[in-house]
Amino acid sequence: MADNEWLDFPGFDAVRWEAEASNIQSADNGVWQKPLWTRSTNSIELPAKAVAAKEEGNAWSLTQSIARAEDVMPALLGGAEGIRFQHELCTWEWMSGVHLEMIHLHLDADGVRLACFPIERMLDNGWKGSCTLSVRNVTAEEVRTHANDLSAAPDIRKWAINTCDKAEPVEALCSGLAQAQLALETFKAVGLDAAEEFQAFTWLHKIGPHVLEGIAMTRAMRILWQRWLTSCGLERGSIWLDARTYLPKADEGIPTDRLIGMTSAAYASAIGGTDSLEIVPHDANDLQASADGKRWARNIQHLMREEAGLNRVFDPMGGSHVVEFWTSSLIEAVWNTFNNQAQQ
């Protein structure tokens, strides 16, 4: 009988690892510390996600943007659980034949024409998801109008923080908190119940290919949101983290070369604990992409679930010394930077 030599690896030598790894130094001298090795750190208990309870593991909604009516059914048949409408050509008729209660429908109120969507009928059909207005540069009148338009939909998320234009984590997270602060002031100015409105927020962001950085940023977003609510005397609530992968440049090589970086970004977002994840197809051009590109983008997420099982355990990287240290370091850097900016 042949020996199974692959079963005969020596046991892990923790003492040797610590001796050798302790010499590893981070080359980064940024605002927050990112050591490549650390002896120990305190674990952070992440708040529950918005999409599902902790007991359901690391669930997330596989989401895809829709540019044409004929793209809806292929996306759903291909396993998409979230459909995003974000431009003025989208109408309610595109959802013909779709069981609304079985998916998340996300409307970008900055882009779609809400008059094309029968809100009350949609609610009667079990609509869940969002109809978000960006609070970034919103006026008091726009806030008042949007709140009135969705007054009959208390369970629909209707406000969005958008940091898709910020690539650096500290900058992105500070921008998100600053947008929340402005929204709080606007809600008070128009007489809305801020405590209630801040239970209906989505944080739209882009995720890059640096895995540990992406995991730390996603974990930090959820914790910073809770800390900010507490600092404002508001009731804690789960924010919906809505992630999109970046689209790397393909100046050299072929478009499919982008798939590696996009997969790394998706992995970081899923492990970090996003609520919905959209992988931008590798051959996307504005809102257009090939059928293969859309299918491959969905299948990356299917593989992460069905083959890798990334959806089975809540906060799968919790307890990792490096990830916990990066998360804590990022949280403190963002909180201090945000407060310093607020005082200027």
Torsional class of 251: left (φ above 0), alpha (ψ -120 to 50), beta (otherwise):
alpha
What local confidence, expressed as pLDDT, does residue 255 receive?
79
pTM: 0.93
Domain residue limits, the chain:
51-343
**How does the average pLDDT of the chain come out, rounded?**
92
Res 211 pLDDT > 70:
yes
Any residues with CB less than 8 A from the CB of 277 and at least 6 apart, and which? Answer: 60, 61, 62, 63, 243, 244, 245, 266, 269, 270, 301
Q: What percent of the chain has pLDDT over 70?
A: 95
Give yes or no for a contact between 295 and 8, defined as CB atoms under 8 angstroms apart: no
What does CATH list as the number for 51-343?
A: 3.20.20.240
Give yes or no for a contact between 202 and 132, defined as CB atoms under 8 angstroms apart: yes
Report which of residues 7 and 88 the model is more confident about: 88
pLDDT digits (tens, 9 = 90+) for 63-122: 999 999 999 999 999 999 999 999 999 999 999 999 999 999 999 999 999 999 999 999
Confidence of residue 1 (pLDDT cuts 50, 70, 90): very low
Helices (H), strands (E): how many in the chain? 10, 8
pLDDT digits (tens, 9 = 90+) for 30-39: 789 998 888 8
Distance, in Å, from the CA atom of 281 to the CA atom of 24, rounded to the nearest integer, reads: 37
Confidence of residue 19 (pLDDT cuts 50, 70, 90): confident
Give the residue-averaged pLDDT of 152-172. Answer: 95
Give yes or no for a contact between 267 and 251, defined as CB atoms under 8 angstroms apart: no
Q: Which residue in the block uniquely carries the two structure tokens 């393909």?
A: 250
pLDDT digits (tens, 9 = 90+) for 277-289: 999 999 887 668 9
